[in-house]
Amino acid sequence: MKVFSVFGVSQSGKTTTVEGIIRELMRRGYRVGSIKNIHFQGFAIDTPGTNTWRHRQAGAEMVVARGLRETDVLIPRQLSIEEILTFFDQDYVVIEGISDTLIPKILCAGDEAEVEEGLNDLVFAISGRISNRLSNYNDIPVINALSDVERLVDLIEDKMTSCLPFIHEVKQCHACGVSCRDLASRILRGKATGTECLAKNEVVIDVGGQELSVDYLRQMHIKNTLIKVLANLDSYDGDKEFFIEIRKRNNGMEV
Amino acid sequence: MKVFSVFGVSQSGKTTTVEGIIRELMRRGYRVGSIKNIHFQGFAIDTPGTNTWRHRQAGAEMVVARGLRETDVLIPRQLSIEEILTFFDQDYVVIEGISDTLIPKILCAGDEAEVEEGLNDLVFAISGRISNRLSNYNDIPVINALSDVERLVDLIEDKMTSCLPFIHEVKQCHACGVSCRDLASRILRGKATGTECLAKNEVVIDVGGQELSVDYLRQMHIKNTLIKVLANLDSYDGDKEFFIEIRKRNNGMEV
């Protein structure tokens, strides 16, 4: 699963850029998910008076609306990007409106001042309204997501050859010799692959005697899921090492 | 995690009953989640024109709205109850509007005809508008969720001593000697505990040399999560047995 972010100030063309990218990734046969980061204080997706709203008002910590054509999981707190990514299993996840992570980024801007404001070492393309006027800025390609989306998505495919093994800096690690930000920047420039990351080999997966190489993000996803499921068992009591064996289905049972 | 359903025809008092139950469970210190099953054809929680709506229209398979005070996971298809339950880790999950599962049930009704229509061996209480007039129906307690919610939640606590190891019939199993429905009914009547269920020991968890007793629902949750995470790895190729070791955190690293 490859994750990147489209960010920039309001009215710079973020959503239009994201729409173009999603359509083109889909056209190429990829499965795509997206996250929209919403800064608006009053944002609430449910409507006062609905049954789901009443469940929430009564105190439910999580409410799911299960419709005939959609399922909506409503969680009354802001989750971290790491937590949110555990919901996805698509090929690509596009995030709109996040700039404070180590995720590779496309910067949307209306003019040079907005580019200068947003530019950093994790930006691999510039798009948005400024792409009507410029095609390059300090050797970073400026690409219009309406008229030239194929070239933009070619660049995404090229840059996202590896998924990042982390989203934020892994504190007190430096096991690979550099900071996570430096490693992210090197991966983006094709000078590292992500396998250099040595953070926390806490989850070891063995298939037929071969150990799988599992990156840090997936390790944390697996560990947190298992602990969440096991925490409800009377027979499990916390921070212990454990082994799990997943057997092949060995009979005709179906559910 | 204990799961039960409140069902009945429209206007029978389902949402009012669910509200009362959630409030009382919370008052007793439990963490509670809920699911509302919506039969209305036109149900859609998002509003045409929003950025998340535009992501979905562009083709995103899953869209997350990450607000300052809420996170909403929008999935454009109806998930099964089993899939939805994997989102929860609360003590209790109350489902409104589902009758076609093996989950223990509270029937809401406005009159005797509606009780007769809905009654079955998995109903352990009756509530809703009829509870203004009756206190018992064929030896099943009829309890008002507004005036007598403590007694209703006492009954829930009493009946939900065990969580069901399944939600629907496990096809072609009968390993325990009876159907899943019969076992569910026996659990509800205190004549079985759920540990009788022998469905599919596909997931074996070992903590310090002791094998944990993990019910079928949790086994499927763990297996499906792991396969979903591993499916994205180039080094994993499908339906094989595998072993996972979760190690204790052995240094001061934090994230």
3-state secondary structure B128-143: CHHHHCCCEECCEEEC
Task: State residue A213's pLDDT score.
Answer: 79
Residues in chain A closer than 8 A to B15 (CB atoms): 51, 54-55
Q: Do B72 and A74 touch (CB under 8 A)?
A: yes
Q: Using CB atoms, which residue from B18, B32, B71 is nearest to A84?
A: B71
The number of CA neighbours under 13 Å toward the Cβ of A106 is: 37
Q: Using CB atoms, which residue from A31, A78, A243 is nearest to B245?
A: A243
| Closest Cα in chain A to B69 | A77
Q: Is residue A250 part of a domain?
A: no
| Closest Cα in chain B to A252 | B172
The arithmetic mean of pLDDT across residues A170-178, rounded, is 88
Q: Is residue B131 part of a domain?
A: yes
Task: State residue B234's pLDDT score.
Answer: 66
The rounded Cα B179 to chain-centroid distance in angstroms is 20
Q: Is residue A46 part of a domain?
A: no
Which CATH number covers residue A88?
3.40.50.300
**β-strands B62-66, A32-37 pairing:** parallel
| Closest Cα in chain B to A180 | B255
Q: Is residue A134 part of a domain?
A: yes
Q: Is residue A90 part of a domain?
A: yes
Chain A: closest CA distance from residue B160 (Å): 14
Q: Is residue B129 part of a domain?
A: yes
Q: Can you give the residue range of the structural domain that contains A27? A: 2-38+78-159
Chain B: closest CA distance from residue A251 (Å): 9
Q: What is the helix (H) or strand (E) element at residue A113, kind and residue range?
A: helix A112-118
Q: Is residue B248 part of a domain?
A: no
Q: E strands along chain B, which residues?
A: 2-7, 32-37, 62-66, 71-75, 92-96, 105-108, 123-127, 136-137, 140-141, 203-207, 210-211, 242-246
The rounded Cα A140 to chain-centroid distance in angstroms is 23
Task: From B200, B197, B202, select the one nearest B176 (Cα to Cα).
Answer: B197
The number of CA neighbours under 13 Å toward the Cβ of B145 is: 26
Task: State residue B252's pLDDT score.
Answer: 40
Query: Testing the interface with A: which of B36, B80, B101 to mutate, by most A Cβ within 10 A?
Result: B36
Task: From B91, B226, B202, select the one nearest A225 (Cα to Cα).
Answer: B226
Q: Do A55 and B34 touch (CB under 8 A)?
A: yes
Q: Do B75 and A76 touch (CB under 8 A)?
A: no
For residue range A81-98, list pLDDT tens digits in order. 999 999 998 999 999 999
| Closest Cα in chain B to A248 | B241
Task: State residue B47's pLDDT score.
Answer: 95
Chain A: closest CA distance from residue B149 (Å): 13
Task: State residue A254's pLDDT score.
Answer: 41
Residues in chain B closer than 8 A to A20 (CB atoms): 58
The rounded Cα B68 to chain-centroid distance in angstroms is 27
Residues in chain B closer than 8 A to A205 (CB atoms): 230, 242-245
Q: Is residue B166 part of a domain?
A: no
Give the separation between CA A201 and CA B250, rounded to whole angstroms.
Answer: 10
The angle, 0 to 180 degrees and rounded to 10, between the axes of the packed helices B51-58 and A14-27 is 20
Q: Do B247 and A221 touch (CB under 8 A)?
A: no
Q: How many domains does chain A have?
A: 1
Chain A: closest CA distance from residue B108 (Å): 15
**A-B Cβ pairs (cutoff 8 Å, strict):** 380
Q: Using CB atoms, which residue from B33, B37, B223 is nearest to A66?
A: B37
Task: Print pLDDT tens along chain B (255 aa).
Answer: 899 999 999 999 999 999 999 999 999 999 999 999 999 999 999 999 999 999 999 999 999 999 999 999 999 999 999 999 999 989 999 999 999 999 999 999 999 999 999 999 999 999 999 999 999 999 999 999 999 999 999 999 999 887 888 999 988 788 899 999 999 999 999 999 888 888 877 888 888 788 887 888 888 888 888 888 887 776 666 667 778 887 765 444 443
Task: State residue B242's pLDDT score.
Answer: 78
Q: Do A235 and B212 touch (CB under 8 A)?
A: yes
Work out the burial of residue A120: count CB atoms within 10 Å of its CB; fewer than 13 is exposed, 13-18 middle, 19 or more buried.
exposed
Query: Testing the interface with A: which of B64, B167, B172, B215 to mutate, by most A Cβ within 10 A?
Result: B64
